[in-house]
A and B are shown apart, each in its own frame.
Chain A
Amino acid sequence: MALAYTDYYAVLGVPRDADQDAIRRAYRKLARRHHPDVNSDSDAEERFKELGEAYEVLSDPEKRERYDRLGANWRQQEQETPDANFEEFFARQGFGGAADSADFGDDLFERLFGGRGGAGASGWSTGPLRGFDREAQLELSLEDALEGGRRRLTLDGRDIDVNFPAGVRDGQLIRIAGRGGPGRDGGPPGDLYLRISLRPHPHFRRRGEHDLDVDLPVTPSQAALGATVPVRTPGGSAQVRVPAGSSSGRRLRLRGRGLPRSGGSGDLHAVVKIVVPKHLSDRERELYEQLAAESPPVEASA
């Protein structure tokens, strides 16, 4: 397999003349920081894997010498020996793919973590183990969230088809079994959790958890006299009665037309927005002037 050259000293953040103690210290510190169970950054898994590779080479004097001498080509001589195959190595340790053999992994693991004098006999055991749970974000439009559907996601180069149910909520977690990190030594894979994130909508604004606001444009005469006007709802449209004497900002509630929640739905609030025509016909202007003469001015405190 062809891998790009990686500067293992830079990965561990140690100088090229670092001694074994310094390399081990650097590795342990960085392994704690970038362990995928500790660090939720999306690149933590990759980084942790890289750390393992760097430590596996630099902690072995023979490999380190070859790496120092041959640089990018150091691996070529190694291809024939089994323990030089990193894909295989990490598959066995659970960072790659399927695993099948047993004692080879133990041996490498022992070396990887310097088993002698480490945390004691109980510390470094191996064996089948479930992979870690992964979390990813699934961005949906409001309409998609209400209708449910299917999405294809690409995670770590793999395509995953995901079905999400109708009525998913912002922030909700959907579990996709078996799509997390690979299991180790034949252990089951972890699960993938998709966190739903609703995109801002051009018409509907979120109001709390389950309610929505939508603008309700009305003419000045509809606002003054009252009218029944169409309003956009998440599923389509509805008719809403605007009471006579409604000013801009008045909220008219449409019960149950908001976002789904357990045991029902939130409310939709139609917010009255008086829209004045930009251009008036002569007749309209005349009528407005008559109206202006009749109406007392609005007081500042009103």
Chain B
Amino acid sequence: MSSEEAVELTVVARRAGVRIALVRRYLEFGLFEARPGPAAAPRYDPDSAARVAQAERLRRDLGLNYAGAVLACELLDRIRDLRAGR
């Protein structure tokens, strides 16, 4: 998790270069989560933008659906962790 300041969903969308509806969609699929805090004003890890963009590239380029793209991201994370011995 990044130590940078948490951001709003609109910022995640802008940094990922996509519409906010798409970001909400990935949020529903559990690609990333809100940081702990007041539910009325949810904030997200700034790394979420890169994560959304990665899932979306995989979805578009490899013909995955949303669930498949999220799964691919999670598996890629897992592989990276295993390689790093975590």
Contacts and interface: CB of A to CB of B under 8 A. Distances in A.
Interface string B33-69: 0000000000000000110011011111111111000
Nearest to A181: B57
Contact of B15 (A28, A113, A130): A130
Contact of A37 (B16, B65, B76): B76
Q: Is the interface of A mostly helix, strand, loop or mixed?
A: loop
Contact of A122 (B19, B65, B76): B65
Contacts of B59: 123
Contacts of A31: 61-62
A129 B63 contact: no
Given A122-B66, A123-B60, A130-B53, 5 more contacts: A28-B63, A129-B56, A184-B17, A187-B18, A191-B50
22 contacts: A31-B62, A35-B58, A37-B57, A37-B58, A37-B76, A38-B58, A118-B63, A119-B63, A119-B64, A122-B66, A123-B63, A123-B64, A124-B63, A127-B18, A127-B19, A130-B49, A132-B53, A183-B17, A187-B17, A188-B15, A188-B17, A190-B53
Interface in A34-88: 35, 37-38
A284 to B, nearest CB: 53
Interface of B: 15-19, 49-50, 53-54, 56-66, 72, 76
A113 B56 contact: no
A301 B24 CA distance: 71
Interface string A232-259: 0000000000000000000000000000
B58 A130 contact: no
Most buried by A among B54, B56, B57: B57
A133 interface: yes
A188 B53 CA distance: 10
B62 A190 contact: no
B63 to A, nearest CB: 4
A125 interface: yes
B80 to A, nearest CB: 9
Nearest to B73: A37
Nearest to B2: A175
Interface in A94-140: 94, 113, 118-120, 122-133
Interface residues of A, number: 30
A20 B37 CA distance: 53
A32 interface: yes
B64 A132 contact: no
B76 A123 contact: no
Contacts of A32: 62
A124 B16 CA distance: 18
A35 B62 contact: yes
Nearest to A183: B17
Contacts of B16: 129-130, 187-188
Nearest to A187: B17
A284 B35 CA distance: 73
